[in-house]
Amino acid sequence: MNKKIYMALGIALICLITSTFVMADEICGDVNCDGNVDMNDSLLLANYVSYPGQYQICSEWAAEVTGNGEINIADAMLIGNYVSYPDNPGYSLRCQEDLSVPEFNTSAVAVIVMLISPISAYFIIKSRH
Ligand SMILES: [Ca+2]
Ligand SMILES: [Ca+2]
């Protein structure tokens, strides 16, 4: 019977690791989600804000790099400067951390449910015998 608990813990651990990787997937400034922040992101964002509805970005969180809560041309320019002048601390990207929190909470709830359900199932089975 202990094997089942180890299995449940193993599944929960895999779930936790997976959710961590999902969170790490979004990179601040990587608006086309190809894993890098480069000029293509700056250009895409400039087009996205200039021509509404004609361009798609994969993450609004990653596009809001100035930290003012709005996505506009200033964000596209900052990504461009960030890519062009990587050593200039004045061009650092400031995506807001709090937008990723609900995702984390969802994952945490999923982990807790995955942890609790096999354990409670074990006790229900055990009590019947
Ligand atoms: Ca990119
Ligand atoms: Ca902004």
Q: What's 70's domain CATH number?
A: 1.10.1330.10
Q: What is the pLDDT of residue 20?
A: 62
* DSSP 8-state assignment for residue 38: S
Q: In the chain, which ranges are continuous DSSP H helix?
A: 2-25, 39-50, 60-63, 73-84, 101-128
Instruction: Point out the ligand nearest to the CA of residue 74.
Output: 2
Both 35 and 83 in a single domain? yes
Instruction: Point out the ligand nearest to the CA of residue 40.
Output: 1
CA 63–ligand 2 middle distance (angstroms): 8
Both 51 and 90 in a single domain? yes
Both 61 and 82 in a single domain? yes
CA 46–ligand 2 middle distance (angstroms): 12
Q: What is the pLDDT of residue 32?
A: 96
User: For residues 93 and 64, what is the distance between their CA atoms, to the nearest angstrom?
Assistant: 9
Both 82 and 108 in a single domain? no
User: For residues 39 and 81, what is the distance between their CA atoms, to the nearest angstrom?
Assistant: 9
User: For residues 50 and 57, what is the distance between their CA atoms, to the nearest angstrom?
Assistant: 13
Q: What is the pLDDT of residue 53?
A: 94
Both 11 and 64 in a single domain? no
Both 55 and 34 in a single domain? yes
Mapped onto helix, strand or coil, the DSSP state of residue 32 is coil
Count: domains in the chain: 2
CA 13–ligand 1 middle distance (angstroms): 30
Q: What is the pLDDT of residue 47?
A: 98
- Residues 93/79, Cβ–Cβ less than 8 Å: yes
CA 30–ligand 2 middle distance (angstroms): 14
- Residues 95/67, Cβ–Cβ less than 8 Å: yes
Both 88 and 39 in a single domain? yes
Both 15 and 44 in a single domain? no
Please name the amino acid found at residue 50: S
Q: Provide the residue-wise pLDDT of the chain in tens; the chain has 129 residues.
A: 678 878 878 887 877 777 665 555 789 999 999 999 999 999 999 999 999 999 999 999 999 999 999 999 999 999 999 999 999 999 999 998 865 555 555 667 777 877 888 888 888 888 876
- Per the structure, the complete domain to which residue 54 belongs is given by 29-94
Both 76 and 50 in a single domain? yes
